[in-house]
Amino acid sequence: MSEMKTAAYICSGCELGDKLDVAQLSKIAQKEGKMALVREHEFLCSEAAVQIIRDDIANEAVTHICIAACSRRAKTEAFHFPEVAMSRANLREGVIWIVAEGSEHDEVRQDMADDYVRMACAELKKMKLPQGNPNHAGNKRILVVGGGMSGLTAALEAAEAGYEVVLIEKENQLGGWASKLWKRVPFKQPYAEPQDTGAAALAAKVTAHPRITVHLNSTLAETSGAPGRFGVQIAQESGASVTEEVGAIVQATGFSAYDLNKLPELGGGKPNVTDQAGLEALARAANGATIKRADGKEISSVVFIQCAGQRDDSGTHLPYCSGHCCATSVKQAMYFKDANPDVDTVVMYTDLRMPGMGEDFYRSAQDKGVIFTKGKAAAVETSGDGCTVKFRDLILDEDTAVNADLVVLATGQVPNAGVDLEAWNPIVTAAEGGSEEAKVQRVELHKTSVLKLNYRQGPDMPQLKQGFSDSHFICFPYETRRTGIYAAGPVRRPMDMLQATEDATGAALKAIQAVENASLGRAAHPRSGDLSFPSARLEGCTQCKRCTVECPFGAIDEDEKRYPVFNESRCRRCGTCMGACPVRVISFENYSVDTVGMQIKAVDMPDEFSEKPRILLLACENDAYPALDMAGLQHHVYSAFVRAIPVRCLGSVNTIWITDALNSGYDGVMLMGCKHGDNYQCHFVKGSELANYRMSKIDDTFKQLGLEPERVITHEVAITDHARVAQLINDYAAKINEIGMSPMKAFA
């Protein structure tokens, strides 16, 4: 390994030279930062200046560079030097654009810039150039689990892009739900009539594709490994077992219809009451002719009841809308009208939701004579040879009833996602504790798993409350909490067939990205391309298992001695393990307890009589730090007493940073991260939540130091909160002023 040689490059462009003493910054970099080489330039991102940096790397053997200019999020292409370690001092967005104009602010502005240069130099000297994952995993085959429209689409898209695909389907034919439909809601012009599903043609295309291997009557028996090197055992109905090696997985296992028998108040389980799937079977049997009931009687009147067991706020049924049901009922009403215009068809709804070009479809149904009634069904009762639907007419605001030969309930989608880990983990814990009953439960529960993962964290992907695979619905759809495994279609969220095929295309592209990154030893999203990966100094490990348990992505297993084993290609590089470790033995080459800790300690700390407080701000690089940058871009003024450090995720924040900051004399510590909870926005899923939990447990630290709990505060921040972050900082600075300077300054 070559000897470290550092260099600092300080820009005076973008008004930096007008508002800051650049010569003083250079002196600090040289004297305090101990940079071996320091250069100033009036236009550092220019081609000429960038060439100077390249020449220094080539000719001066520079291995570590500090760029003191704009935000690390700006000019990334100009300042792209992958062969060296690099830190950035944010002097533009983080200093001159947020400090108020006027000569009276010159001193605090310069103090702020001085500190950011000190911090960048301190960080740099603790960084190493990431070498990449040494265990490159080169398998680029894609496994698709499920042969419905989502699975078929994902398989075909990946194959057409040049990748080999393995497709497994538990039934004896491809097509899934689509193969059971008579027609589908229109997805292309004209949007006036039900259209052919296209499932048979798609299945034939997949079966004939030279890059796709299809396993019918098959399920997964075990899935092991990581992106680029998954090993899967496929159990076939015949009893045979096939082993395949793949690089990424798309789970497209679809949905089941909500159980009709759970809706007795709406006639579920009674004769002449069916769900939408049941009506499709009747329509297929009719093959375009008049639809007959199961008992053979021709249907002359039919009522469709929307939101049957859906959008329920009582907690009894599904709380969500399944998205496709309104359009499906309109389509099915047309089945009747197209075969016999005299059939009375009533669609009873509270809100009619028709995505895409559904308005045209709805108008077409009206033209055919389909009746739409805004009402809420109260009961469905057997009446003679048919049913009576009692409902509240929401237009006339009165109770009324309508008779029908057949009632069709629009029940919702229930995802086929496998084992709920919230139920799995307590059973496993009890089984490991010796409970024989739990051991039996674990075996039985494992049989219901879809993926059969041999991960320590459980056999399937984590799920949301309603059983859908937990993917980041705002920023990273398809991407689950198991790296290299993607969810597509109704297993991810409720959706119609068109949305499911679009979803599958996105998941296939993500799977391709995963195998390509794995082959290069790079991280997947959201730090795509990151070559760093975690390592542990095992001689200091206490085997507490916190890193294993808290990793949101199942990237850490344990060896036979219960030491952590990092699966680098599963890792998202969030640093949650680093934040969890109480003995601080986990780190990344370019991001560690020391790279942040040394920045905290590098700040010049004024004494308690200076009336210059210091507030440490640890800001998530995904939302909070961009919001700070935008605050600067918008010239929102906030306190110059803040020193902001971007962190990969609040989950990476180790409590030692808080303790060190308070011991060093900081008057307050702010943490800004993404929203957590059921509707989380954290890019790393659990990081913000874990940080919030950890911060709630540091009361003993305050007591030991004799400090007020208000000196540490956590905020949830969205990337659009540029005005709000400035206000939060100013409000907190005012609060610190009210509390007073930290008494720890006297000991710093």
CB 311 within 8 A of CB 269: no
Q: Which pairing describes strands 230-236 and 218-224: parallel, antiparallel, or unpaired? A: antiparallel
Per-residue pLDDT band for 528 (boundaries 50, 70, 90) equals confident
CA neighbor of 596 nearest in space, from 665, 650, 532 = 650
Residue where a domain stops, chosen among 374, 393, 413: 413
Tell me the per-residue pLDDT of 211-265, one tens digit each, with 9 for 90 and over: 999 999 999 999 999 999 999 999 999 999 999 999 999 999 999 999 999 999 9
Q: How many residues are present in the chain?
A: 748
Largest CA distance in the chain: 96
Number of Cβ atoms within 10 Å of the Cβ of 630: 19
To the nearest whole number, what is the mean pLDDT of the chain?
Answer: 94
Number of domains in the chain: 3
CA neighbor of 582 nearest in space, from 659, 690, 655 = 655
Tell me the per-residue pLDDT of 326-360, one tens digit each, with 9 for 90 and over: 999 999 999 999 999 999 999 999 999 998 888 99
Tell me: do 112 and 192 sit in the same domain: no
Tell me the per-residue pLDDT of 384-399, one tens digit each, with 9 for 90 and over: 999 999 999 999 999 9
Find the mean pLDDT for residues 155-159.
98
State the Cα–Cα distance between residues 517 and 571, nearest whole angstrom: 12
Q: What is the DSSP letter of 195?
A: B
- Hey, CA dihedral for 25, 28, 33, 34, is it positive or negative? positive
Tell me the per-residue pLDDT of 423-439, one tens digit each, with 9 for 90 and over: 999 999 999 899 999 99
Q: Which pairing describes strands 668-673 and 586-587: parallel, antiparallel, or unpaired? A: unpaired
In a domain, 383, yes or no: yes
Tell me: do 475 and 512 sit in the same domain: yes
CA neighbor of 141 nearest in space, from 410, 526, 409, 484 = 484
Residue where a domain stops, chosen among 350, 378, 413: 413
Tell me: do 302 and 407 sit in the same domain: yes
State yes or no: pLDDT of 42 exceeds 60: yes
Number of Cβ atoms within 10 Å of the Cβ of 172: 8
Torsion of CA 384, 389, 395, 396, to 10 degrees: 50
Tell me: do 305 and 398 sit in the same domain: yes
In a domain, 390, yes or no: yes
Helical H segments across 640-721, by residue range: 655-663, 687-695, 699-705
Tell me the per-residue pLDDT of 700-712, one tens digit each, with 9 for 90 and over: 777 787 888 899 9
Q: Residue 179's pLDDT is what?
A: 96
Cα–Cα distances (Å) from 282 to 286, 324, 365, 746, in that order, read 6, 19, 20, 83
Coil vs helix vs strand at 439: helix
Torsion of CA 684, 688, 689, 692, to 10 degrees: 160
CB 112 within 8 A of CB 130: no
Tell me: do 406 and 479 sit in the same domain: no
Q: Which pairing describes strands 564-566 and 301-305: parallel, antiparallel, or unpaired? A: unpaired
Tell me: do 92 and 146 sit in the same domain: no
Q: What angle do CA 200, 203, 209 make, to 5 degrees?
A: 140
Tell me the per-residue pLDDT of 583-592, one tens digit each, with 9 for 90 and over: 999 999 999 9
Tell me: do 125 and 149 sit in the same domain: no
The boundaries of the domain holding residue 374 are 274-279+296-413
CB 302 within 8 A of CB 407: yes
State yes or no: pLDDT of 747 exceeds 80: no
For residue 311, which phi and psi values (nearest 5 degrees)?
50, 40
State the Cα–Cα distance between residues 43 and 78, nearest whole angstrom: 12
Cα–Cα distances (Å) from 250 to 5, 167, 175, 229, 442, in that order, read 45, 10, 16, 15, 25
Residue where a domain stops, chosen among 129, 160, 188: 129
State the Cα–Cα distance between residues 11 and 50, nearest whole angstrom: 11
Q: Residue 748's pLDDT is what?
A: 65
Q: For the chain, what percent of residues have pLDDT higher than 90?
A: 87
Cα–Cα distances (Å) from 394 to 348, 391, 710, in that order, read 10, 9, 52
Cα–Cα distances (Å) from 501 to 199, 495, 496, 675, in that order, read 11, 10, 9, 30
Find the mean pLDDT for residues 510-530.
89
Helical H segments across 413-489, by residue range: 421-432, 436-447
DSSP for 97-144 reads TTSPSSGGGHHHHHHHHHHHHHHHHHHHHT-------SS------EEE
The residue behind tokens 């995720």 is 649
In a domain, 616, yes or no: no
Tell me the per-residue pLDDT of 719-734, one tens digit each, with 9 for 90 and over: 999 999 999 999 999 9
| CATH classification of the domain holding 409 | 3.50.50.60
Q: Residue 358's pLDDT is what?
A: 86
Q: What angle do CA 16, 18, 22 make, to 5 degrees?
A: 60
* CB hemisphere CA count around 557 (13 angstroms): 14
Q: Residue 611's pLDDT is what?
A: 87
State yes or no: pLDDT of 463 exceeds 70: yes
* CB hemisphere CA count around 348 (13 angstroms): 27
State the Cα–Cα distance between residues 249 and 628, nearest whole angstrom: 37
Tell me: do 350 and 328 sit in the same domain: yes
Q: Residue 461's pLDDT is what?
A: 95
In a domain, 577, yes or no: no
Q: For the chain, what percent of residues have pLDDT higher than 70?
A: 99
For residue 358, which phi and psi values (nearest 5 degrees)?
-60, -25
Tell me: do 74 and 1 sit in the same domain: yes
| CATH classification of the domain holding 22 | 3.40.50
Name the token pair of 737. Answer: 């002023």
In a domain, 628, yes or no: no
Please, which residues have CB within 8 angstroms of residue 549's CB and are 6 or more apart in sequence? 580
Tell me: do 77 and 172 sit in the same domain: no
In a domain, 627, yes or no: no
Q: Residue 472's pLDDT is what?
A: 75
CA neighbor of 234 nearest in space, from 155, 226, 224, 253 = 224
State the Cα–Cα distance between residues 482 and 204, nearest whole angstrom: 31
Q: To which H or E segment does residue 347 belong? A: strand 344-349
CA neighbor of 651 nearest in space, from 551, 545, 527 = 551
Tell me: do 2 and 125 sit in the same domain: yes
Q: Which pairing describes strands 556-558 and 564-566: parallel, antiparallel, or unpaired? A: antiparallel
State the Cα–Cα distance between residues 350 and 377, nearest whole angstrom: 9
In a domain, 607, yes or no: no
Tell me: do 229 and 313 sit in the same domain: no
In a domain, 456, yes or no: no
